[in-house]
Structure 1
Amino acid sequence: MVASDGLAAARVVVGVSGSLGSLTALSRAAEEARRRQAQLWPVLAWEPPGGDVAARRNPAPSVLVDEWQRLARERLLTALDDVFGDAGPGVGLHALVARGTPGLALVEIADRESDLLVVGAGRRSAWHRACSRSASRYCLAHAGCPVLAVPPSPLESELAAMHRRNAWRLRLDTRELNRRLRTG
């Protein structure tokens, strides 16, 4: 899009997966877009099961590819609804579903120096950093525009801790949880 003065409209591109971290990043990206009077470009990148390499070796019927694309679009719409509801983000919105690895897709879409790329910082444990690919790390290393890595919400870590306690069938102290929720 081109602004009325002939310059490209400012964009805030944000990676969205539907995870709690990406929803936090989406909310922060909307704040940044409003502050900068920019368009909000939420992007959900998807790959076929097994990745594109496996898909090239055994091409899926187009019906399956269409279904995966539809599911990705639904997940993006659900994330937008979860964060903004009926009110919307308060800025111009250009939602995209892109086929490809998340980091590469985000870097390719946020291709202007004037763009701001917003990503969730992901989990901070050494285990997750060592064992998982990170779209945020890829974006920080390869983007040609500023990248804002949004840390996880404190609520997300509390939720993960409760999930671990539940999985190990450990007693949950709800008084401590209630105290934390009340104090913010």
Structure 2
Amino acid sequence: MVEEHGATVVVGVDGSPAARLAVAWAVQFAGGAGATVHAVAVCGVVPASPFLTVPTPREEVDLVAEQHHDMIAEALRQADPQSHGVAVRTSVIHGEPGRALCALSAGASALVVGSHGRGAVLTALLGSVSAYCVRHAKCPVFVIPPDAVESVDEVTGRAAADAG
């Protein structure tokens, strides 16, 4: 989403190696573009609705949200946005990942997501967040492929070595 002070790069964070690389890539991209990063984890555990017969306990929702915040913090620690001069904000939201990321990225400079590379059968059964985003986002979408994951240690290791 575009903010008053400039452009934003939205990046999806799910704890996977591809998502960690997506965060590192988004930070570098935002640094070069003078943009901020909005790191977002989408939590599938949805707070209780008055229409559900068996609501999710509030403690479980809070625990899962806290785990998602920790996941974002770890990915950002590895990406080291401070060394790139990039401002970051974070969000944990509840809902379906593809729809939520597309909604949050409306008006953004870019949306960055990692790909798990499950293959056609599992993607057909489980769906694909990256494929959904490519089809429905209203901004450019960068998908970090699973083969690029091997370089996540290079990208984040280099940043850690420069900082240390």
TM-score over 0.5 for the pair: yes
Q: Distance in 2 between matches of 1:61 and 1:107?
A: 28
Greater C-alpha radius of gyration: 1
C-alpha distance after superposition, 1:6-29 (max 9, x if no partner)? xxx101001111100101111111
1:71 pairs with 2:72: no
Kindly provide the CA deviation profile for residues 50-104 of structure 1, in whole angstroms up to 9, marking residues without a partner as x.
Answer: x989x9342122222222211211121122223328x555301011111111111
| 2:89 aligned residue | 94
Specify which structure has the bigger relative contact order, considering alpha-carbon pairs within 8 angstroms and separated by 6 or more residues: 2
Aligned residue pair count: 148
Aligned counterpart for 1:39 among listed residues 36, 39, 50: 36
CA distance in 2, matches of 1:32, 1:39: 10
TM-score, length of structure 2 as denominator length: 0.78
Structure 1 consecutive aligned stretches of length 4 or more whose deviation exceeds 3 Å:
153-156
Alpha-carbon RMSD across the aligned residues, in angstroms, is 2.7
The answer as to whether partners of 1:24 and 1:153 remain within 8 angstroms in 2 is no
| Structure 2: gaps of 5 or more residues | 151-164
The residue correspondences of 1:5-154 to structure 2 (distance < 5 A) are 9-48=6-45, 56-84=52-80, 87=82, 89-112=84-107, 114-123=108-117, 125-154=119-148
1:2 equivalent in structure 2: 4
Q: Residue in 2 aligned with 1:165?
A: none
Percentage of identical aligned residues: 31
Call closer, same or farther: CA 1:155–1:96 in 2, change over 3 Å.
closer
In the alignment, is the contact (CA less than 8 A) between 1:24 and 1:152 conserved in 2? no
The unaligned stretches of length 5 or more in structure 1 are 4-8, 157-184
